[in-house]
Each structure stands twice: as C-alpha cells, then as structure tokens.
C-alpha cells in the first residue's frame, strides 16, 4: 500500500512537471515573431560595407524586441526575429527606414538615406 501511494505521488508530480514544461515552450513560441521585409539595395557589398554593414550590425539590434536579423543582399530582404510583446512590425520597418532603406511599403527616410555611402545610393 505504501508503494502504491508513493508511485501515485510520483506520477502526479511527473505529470505536473511535464505540463509545466510544455506550457512554457508554448508561451516561448508565442513570443517569437518572424518577418521577411523587402528592401532595395543598390550595391553588391552592403553587408561588408564599412559604413552600411556596421550600421546593420549595431542599429538593427538596438530596436527594442529585435532578437536577430539576417540580411539577404541577393534577395534584397531582411528577415527579422522579434518579440511581438516588445515591438511590432511597423516599428521595425520604420527603424529600417531611418537607416536609409526601404522596408516593404515604408520608404527610406531621406535623412538616413543621405548618410549612406555613395555606393549604396541610386
């Protein structure tokens, strides 16, 4: 009888732990956003450009809620991984615009565009 009680308590404890782990993974997944944003790059070395590449690395990760980004210069897209509880897609697009680049329907901010190297302008 004692073993049965112990096994029942152990089973209940394991079920509670398993449920807790599963729900925390579900919540974490909900906090992850991913967006592919179309842009226009006018040079073939933006990622390596001393000005633009460095700007991507520093400024993109300063956007609150952005966890990671990838720039595909051939496809001319930013893939941005972000926390939708901390930021939204429009805020990210506006931040990209301030860097001087188009972000889907949000056109490049003229001030940001002027700060780009000449090779990155049309």
Of the candidates 94, 87, 39, 38, which has an alpha carbon nearest to the alpha carbon of residue 67? 87
Q: Are residues 42 and 15 in the same domain?
A: no
Of the candidates 92, 111, 99, which has an alpha carbon nearest to the alpha carbon of residue 37? 92
Domain of 12 in residue numbering reads as: 1-30
In degrees and rounded to multiples of 5, residue 19 shows phi and psi of -60, -40
Tokens of 90: 């429009």
Q: Are residues 21 and 37 in the same domain?
A: no
Q: Are residues 22 and 7 in the same domain?
A: yes
Q: Are residues 4 and 64 in the same domain?
A: no
Q: pLDDT truncated to tens, each residue of the chain (122 aa)?
A: 455 455 677 666 656 565 566 555 544 544 589 999 998 877 766 667 666 777 777 888 888 999 998 888 888 898 999 999 999 999 999 999 998 889 999 999 999 989 888 877 76
């Amino acid at each position: 009888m004692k073993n049965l009680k112990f096994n029942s308590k152990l089973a209940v404890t394991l079920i509670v732990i398993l449920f807790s782990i599963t729900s925390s993974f579900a919540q974490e997944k909900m906090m992850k956003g991913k967006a592919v944003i179309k842009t226009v790059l006018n040079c073939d070395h933006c990622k390596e450009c001393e000005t633009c590449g460095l700007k991507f690395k520093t400024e993109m990760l300063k956007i609150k809620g952005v966890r990671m980004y990838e720039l595909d210069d051939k496809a001319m897209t930013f893939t941005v991984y972000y926390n939708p509880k901390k930021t939204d897609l429009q805020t990210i697009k506006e931040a990209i615009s301030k860097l001087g680049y188009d972000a889907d329907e949000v056109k490049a901010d003229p001030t940001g565009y002027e700060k780009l190297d000449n090779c990155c302008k049309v």
